[in-house]
Amino acid sequence: MGQTETFAAEMTAALQAAQGPSAAAQAEASARNDVLTKPPGALGRLEELAIWYASWRGNACPEIKAPQVIIFAGNHGVVAQGISAFPPEVTVQMVANFEGEGAAINQLAKLHGAEMAVVSLELDRPTADFTQGPAMDAADLNAALKAGWEAVNPESDLLVVGEMGIGNTTAAAAIALALFGGEAVDWVGRGTGLDDAGVARKAEVIAKALQVNAPQGPMEVLRCVGGREIAAMAGAMARARVKGIPVILDGFICCSAAAVLDRLVEGALDHCVAGHQSAEAAHGRVLTALGKEPLLSLGLRLGEGSGAALAIGVLKGAIACHSGMASFAEAGVSDG
Ligand SMILES: Cc1cc2ncn([C@H]3O[C@H](COP(=O)(O)O)[C@@H](O)[C@H]3O)c2cc1C
Ligand SMILES: O=C(O)c1cccnc1
């Protein structure tokens, strides 16, 4: 897609025009599921997962051969408000750790045979402190959306987007408050490990951010109180929607980016499944607002795409059974 200056508008139009899943593949996969050698429904959610994946791939008997994990990194001016337990230098240090294959996400991506890309977004130029004014101008927002869009490998057959950005649970909470309403305290959590006073300060910070910026509409919310890596995640998930690449959603920050798309275009997240529910207090609330039931709930509160990457194994299990199992007729098993 074209011009950086108009990227947000072009991306929105592409999402509006995007095709849905294949009804034929869905019907064929569903019929196949009905004759596999198991009592009806005995594979629980794995059955609906396999049919969902098959419908998005347009193939009733799919395989997962080329998963991609993309980690987007960005820095946040709002760290000046003392809203993270860690200093902002950790963002660039962790990027080096990703590149040296030393982070949790490296291990989980490798475990599931996923290609992993790391995209740093102007780490030496943090977003503006959004308690003072918008985090990004239109040029910054468009560039970040486009970086996300372009990072997706169109040949991949599954996408996980993760992030690294000290302070980004505050941006995610501000996005959630702006999109879903309620009270600031409903959307804040401990992030990397804030104490109770820190969490209370974080709530004040996001309340002030919305007073100062008063963003109108999902894209403006993303520009005013988001961050570059959050915008890039949204851009990548939008590209995946257009390309028919299923996405596994990660934790609170990933879901705040997804929520922007959800409010922007109806059905924009139909190609997404929730990988897990993180321990960040408001993640469950965001998942409920998005109508997504998490596959895993293991108390993770890391980000980096880690919970979603772990859930690749669940989806691979669903597809292995669906595409590999024999039917009652093939195996000569009585179908009851
Ligand atoms: C060593 C380290 C590795 C991480 N990997 C992900 N995060 C996570 O923590 C950050 C968000 O929390 P907050 O809003 O409280 O700063 C993000 O970078 C997120 O990805 C990490 C944080 C740290 C310290
Ligand atoms: O939910 C997450 O992804 C999360 C929670 C805490 C810190 N970093 C990420």
Q: Residue 5: is its pLDDT beyond 90?
A: no
Q: Identify the burial level of 45 via C-beta atoms within 10 angstroms of its C-beta, where 0-12 means exposed, 13-18 middle and 19 or more buried.
A: middle
Gap between the Cα atoms of 47 and 41, Å rounded: 7
How buried is residue 98: exposed, middle or buried, by Cβ count under 10 Å (0-12/13-18/19+)? buried
Residue 2 has pLDDT above 80, yes or no: no
Residue 257 Cα to ligand 1 midpoint, Å, equals 16
Asked whether this complex has an ipTM greater than 0.95, the answer is yes
- Structure tokens belonging to residue 259: 């929520």
pLDDT in tens, 229-253: 999 999 999 999 999 999 999 999 9
Is 304 marked active-site?
A: yes
* pLDDT tens by residue, 100-134: 999 999 999 999 999 999 999 999 999 999 999 99
Complete domains list, the chain, with CATH? 7-62+321-331 (1.10.1610.10), 67-314 (3.40.50.10210)
Q: Which of 13, 20, 3 is nearest to 241 (CA)?
A: 20
Give the predicted TM-score (pTM) of the model: 0.98
- List, for residues 246-305, the tens digit of each pLDDT value: 999 999 999 999 999 999 999 999 999 999 999 999 999 999 999 999 999 999 999 999
Q: Which helix (H) or strand (E) holds 282?
A: none
Q: Whose atoms come closest to the Cα of 97: which ligand?
A: 1
- Is the backbone of residue 273 left (phi > 0), alpha (psi -120 to 50) or beta? beta
- Percent of the chain topping pLDDT 90: 98
Q: What is the mean pLDDT of residues 1-20?
A: 91
Closest atom of ligand 2 to 254 CA is 3
Distance CA 170, CA 115 (A): 29
- Residue 238: C-alpha distances to residues 20, 49, 133, 134, 257 (Å): 13, 20, 27, 23, 10
Q: How far apart are CA 131 and CA 291, in angstroms?
A: 30
**Which ligand is nearest the CA of 89, by number?**
1
Mean of per-residue pLDDT scores for the chain: 98
CA distance 24 to 34: 16
What tokens does 99 get?
């590149």
Report the residue count for the chain. Answer: 336
* Options 10, 47, 229, 304, the catalytic residue: 304
